[in-house]
Amino acid sequence: MDTGYFSDRKRTDTSSIKTTTLLSFVLFAMILVSIIWGLATFFINTYYESMRAKESLSVANSLEVQYREFPDTFEEYAVQSAASNRIYIRLDSAGNTMEFNGTVGLNDIDSFNKDIEIINKKLKRSPNSNVTYNVRDTTTESNSRLLFATRIERPGEISTLYIIAPLYPDLVTTRIIKNMLFYISVIVLIIALLLSFALSHRLASPIENLTRAATELSQGNYDVKFDGASFTETKELARALNQASYEMERSEFYQREIIANVSHDLKTPLTMIRSYAEKIIDISGDNPEKRNADLAVIISETERLNTLVTDMMSVSNLQSNNVELHNETFDLVEAAKVVYESVLVLSSSQGYEINFHPSRPAYVVGDRNKIMQVMSNFVANAIKYSGDNKFIDLRLQKSAKKVAFHCIDHGVGIPSEDQRHVWDRYYRTSANHERYIEGTGLGLSIVKGILNLHGASYGVNSEEGKGSDFWFEMETVRKPSARNMAVSKTETIGEDDGEEG
């Protein structure tokens, strides 16, 4: 088997489902990681600062309440608050100053003293009992601090509580968070890569299998089976391809049958013509009686060959829509009666009993000769396959707006699996491939083409061993007036010049 296609596919194809899915998931993971980093930066810089300020003010209020109501335990409470909240606390009261430094990395008391001078000035100018102020380092604007000062009045004294809270995470915490995010990002990317590879393989594998099987099918391997895996879409596609494979196998089988049938049908009359021509030359040329009998055989075989060629041309013209229809309004019942009368001779010469069951007159619009050809083909087909039971019924059934023609035989019938193929060229059912049955095998294909041109519905109802009912149905029209009976309408379908062949 030629594997060139799949060897080419082994090279990276950026437009394949597998590669596209893989790259899409990796890109999605990278975007997700970027979003995580962006949110982390936002929370560390902006959100952290806001929440830190709120917590520091809450601690300041707690310290104020503690000093006002429980001054004896204030020092212990302040030590814990400074350490746990990473803030600087200072209490000035009656010439006594207490400092509690819980900050990390900002142990320069002189810098805190400068901040206290700033906030103290603002407190003196403020009509309120407390003030809050944010400052940033001149060297690093991202390092901001919250300055808070409040007056605490107690009997006999006025104290001032100062709190300085850094509003940025310390370097160690920031480094830990960034390292953690880095490892999380790497893990997310690896997991995304593995998942995307597995998912892309799962998505692409059924399609690759279908493509591989289709390649084998194109090389003539009709035993290949299409598997759509677990996806609904690929299962539906596999089902359709399996059906196509089955139809292609049958088509190839029938093509071989066509070649065999046509070869036989062409070879037999040609052989007969050659044989009887040689016989005339060698034996019967001087005997008028024998010569005429031999010439009659040659003429008969020539007519048979001409019929085959004519039918083949008719099928070709019907398939290419290169057919001229001479439409007119006519009585289908009367046309069916003409067909019936033309085959009555078989009743006596070959023992067939053909019964005609007409309906009341039913007028239709169409090509009268071609519709009669359809009925004649139905009758000829019934005669060929009626077997030992030589009863044939021709029935017309008229309804309100339609009329149907039925040709019913009681012969060998058609297997149900073959009924959809009886309209194919050169087709004969699996039960009826005997070569002694005469005919071109094109009759029903011609019928199909003619009825399709007329927009008629048609079909076959058959049961193997009990016979078949071939039928067609056309819409009826009103009976035309006597003056219009002779008027016909010509409709050309296909080529402009309407020539055949």
Mean pLDDT of the chain: 79
Query: Domain for residue 231, yes or no?
Result: no
Same domain, 288 and 335: no
The answer to whether residues 428 and 441 touch, using CB atoms and an 8 Å cutoff, is yes
Structure tokens at 400: 């309100």
Select from 189, 208, 224 the last residue of a domain.
Answer: 224
Predicted pLDDT of residue 10: 53
Instruction: Verify that 26 and 155 share a domain, yes or no.
Output: yes
Q: Is 265 a residue whose pLDDT tops 70?
A: no
- Dig out the tokens for 124 from the structure: 């003196």
The pLDDT value given to residue 490: 44
> 3-state DSSP call for residue 207?
helix
Asked whether the whole model's pTM tops 0.95, one would answer no
Q: Which residues contact 350 (CB under 8 A, 6 or more apart)?
A: 390
Q: Quote the number of domains for the chain.
A: 3
Asked whether residue 234 is assigned to any structural domain, the reply reads no
CB contact set of 66 (below 8 Å; sequence gap of 6+): 73, 74, 77, 78
Please give the Cα distance from 368 to 450 (Å, whole number): 11
Q: Are residues 373 and 263 in the same domain?
A: no
For residue 316, tell me if it sits in a domain: no
Number of helices (H) and strands (E) in the chain: give both, helices first: 12, 13
CB atoms < 10 A from the CB of 455, how many?
A: 10
Query: Based on the domain organization, do 154 and 285 belong to the same domain?
Result: no
* Percent of the chain at pLDDT exceeding 70: 78
Same structural domain, 155 and 275:
no
CA gap 63, 59 in Å, rounded: 6
More confident residue, 382 or 345: 382
| Total residues found in the chain within this entry | 501
Answer whether residue 136 is part of any domain. Answer: yes
Residues 298 and 325 placed together within one structural domain of the fold: no
Please give the Cα distance from 212 to 217 (Å, whole number): 9
Mean pLDDT of the region 26-47:
79
Distance, in Å, from the CA atom of 139 to the CA atom of 188, rounded to the nearest integer, reads 37
Predicted pLDDT at 415: 86
Q: What is the pLDDT of residue 6?
A: 46
Instruction: Determine whether 350 is exposed, middle or buried from the number of CB atoms within 10 Å of its CB (0-12, 13-18, 19+).
Output: exposed
The larger pLDDT score, comparing residue 62 to residue 221, is at 62
Cα gap 90→114, rounded to integer Å = 13
Q: Is the pLDDT of residue 227 over 80?
A: yes
User: For residues 30 and 163, what is the distance between their CA atoms, to the nearest angstrom?
Assistant: 43
- pLDDT tens, residue by residue, 181-205: 888 888 888 888 888 888 888 888 8
Range of 373's domain?
Answer: 321-493
- 298 and 198 in a common domain: no
Distance (Å, whole) CA 394 – CA 336:
8
CATH code, domain carrying 403: 3.30.565.10
- Same domain, yes or no: 178 and 83: yes
In the chain, the amino acid numbered 431 is A
Q: Express each pLDDT in 117-135 by its tens digit.
A: 889 899 989 888 899 998 8
Instruction: Yes or no: say if 457 and 447 are a contact pair by the CB < 8 Å rule.
Output: no
Does 157 reside within a domain?
yes
Domain check: are 55 and 190 in the same one? yes
The residue out of 188, 208, 224 marking a domain boundary is 224
Pairing of strands 353-357, 391-398: parallel
Burial class (CB in 10 A: 0-12, 13-18, 19+), 363: middle
Residue 222 has pLDDT above 90, yes or no: no
53 and 199 within one domain: yes
Same domain, 159 and 186: yes
Both 9 and 149 in a single domain?
yes
Q: Please check whether residue 218 lies inside any domain of the structure.
A: yes
pLDDT of 468 strictly over 50: yes
Q: Residue 285: inside a domain, yes or no? A: yes
H/E/C letters for each residue in 304-349? Answer: HHHHHHHHHHHHHHHHCCCEEEEEEEEEHHHHHHHHHHHCCHHHHH
User: 């066509």: which residue's tokens?
Assistant: 258
Q: Is residue 45 part of a domain?
A: yes
* CA 13 to chain centroid: 22
Could you say which of 270, 303, 336 is where a domain stops? 303
